[in-house]
Structure 1
Amino acid sequence: MSLDKIVAISGKPGLYELQTQTRTGFVAKSLLDGKKITVGMRSNVSVLSEIAIYTLQEEMPLREVFAKIQEKENGGETAVKHKDSKDKLEEYFFEVLPDYDEDRVYPSDIKKVVQWYNLLVKNGFNDFTDTTETSEENTEVTAEETKED
């Protein structure tokens, strides 16, 4: 399972894994309770691999933020929970990502990131590496090996 197949649906709690495409939308399975739902084309859907967090220099892809959290927590769930106080969440997020833009990243965004990370880890998702970079590196190695032969 990669972040390319995990989506957040506006108005629905938690995260969903894309299952299959239909004529009028797609079928997704909830990571909270495992129930499948049909999502129409008019629904507002965000793919996790396309979400980024504002920092003072540039936008950081969500997968990199998750990787930093994973490194801090040694692969386990976060020490804070998404229902903790605003100050506690901001303090935790500052430890993970010290240069995040406090003016453009709201406490509600931090809550979502913490909640989503915990949900992904709880469901056995622990590989936050970028699959496109990995495949490009493998292609380069193969090309170099071919030249040597």
Structure 2
Amino acid sequence: MELKEIACVTGKPGLYRVLKPMRNGILVESLDAQKKKLPLGASAKVAILQEITFYTDDAEGAYPLVEVLYTMKEKYGAQLPVHHKESSDEEVMAFFAEVLPQYSRERVFASDVRKLLKWYEILLKEVPSVLERPKQESAQEEENSEENEEKPKRKRSTNKAKAAKADEPAAEEALAEEAQPKKKATRKRTVKNKSEGNEE
């Protein structure tokens, strides 16, 4: 199962797995021990977790929920320092600030974070594998990091090549100057020989 298959439904608690589309809606299954199947009409408000974002104050303006879940798993594992019911609003928001420092203080509320904590608890219990960051994504981040380290070296090599090319015309001019006097000397000797022949 993947996060793109898991959704929340407005007005209903918990999370649901999207099974298949129907003529007038979709069929979902509760993500719990009961695995209860529930048909939802076209008017139902269903949000796929992979498409949900949190408001931020940076240039992007939003941050994916899935990335927040990955960060929570990497940083805290199964032992979160807060609970969606027992912790105070101040504790909940302080926790979220550690996970997503750039979140919008005006548009993200404690109720949003409590919902996030509840979803994390469900996912950790029912499908913990979806909280692991994809390996391809991690490998791509490492590759980008290595490329950034190699860029200065490549620039230095390019500068050396440019310097070598800049020296080539000067070297050619020097060779031309050395060769030119030799040609003139040869011509003088030829003229001298001709004049000697005329005297005889």
Question: Does structure 1 residue 97 correspond to structure 2 residue 100?
Answer: yes
The alpha carbon displacement at 1:22 in A equals 1.4
Match of 2:67 in 1: 64
Q: Which runs of 4+ in 1 moved over 2 A?
A: 124-131
The whole-number CA distance in structure 2 between the counterparts of 1:77 and 1:22 is: 39
Is contact 2:17–2:28 with CA below 8 Å preserved after alignment?
yes
Name structure 2 gaps, 5 residues minimum. Answer: 141-200
Output the CA distance in 1 between the equivalents of 2:22 and 2:130: 28
5+ residue gaps, structure 1, are: 138-149
Query: What is the aligned residue count?
Result: 133
Partner of 1:106: 109
Which residue pairs with 1:142 in the alignment?
none
Q: Is 1:17 matched up with 2:20?
A: no
Q: Give 1:87 shift.
A: 1.0
More helix by share: 2
Q: Residue 77 of structure 1 contacts residue 121 of structure 1 at CA under 8 Å; is this kept in 2?
A: no
**Could you say which structure has the higher strand fraction?**
1
Shift of 1:126: 2.9
Asked whether the equivalents of residues 123 and 130 of structure 2 are also in contact (C-alpha less than 8 Å), the reply is: no
SS of residue paired to 1:46: strand
Shift of 1:56: 1.8
In our comparison, the structure showing a higher alpha carbon Rg is 2
Q: Distance in 1 between matches of 2:25 and 2:121?
A: 27
Identity of aligned residues (%): 36
User: Please, which of 66, 80, 86 is the counterpart of residue 82 of structure 2?
Assistant: 80
Amino acid at match of 1:82: H
Alignment correspondent of 2:3: 3
- What is the deviation of 1:77? 4.8
Q: Show CA shifts across 1:46-77 (max 9, x none).
A: 11111011122121111100011111113x15
1:17-36 matched pairs, under 5 angstroms? 17-32=17-32, 33-36=34-37
Counterparts of 2:134 and 2:47 in 1: how far apart (Å)? 18
Which of 1 and 2 has higher RCO (CA within 8 Å, sep 6+)? 1
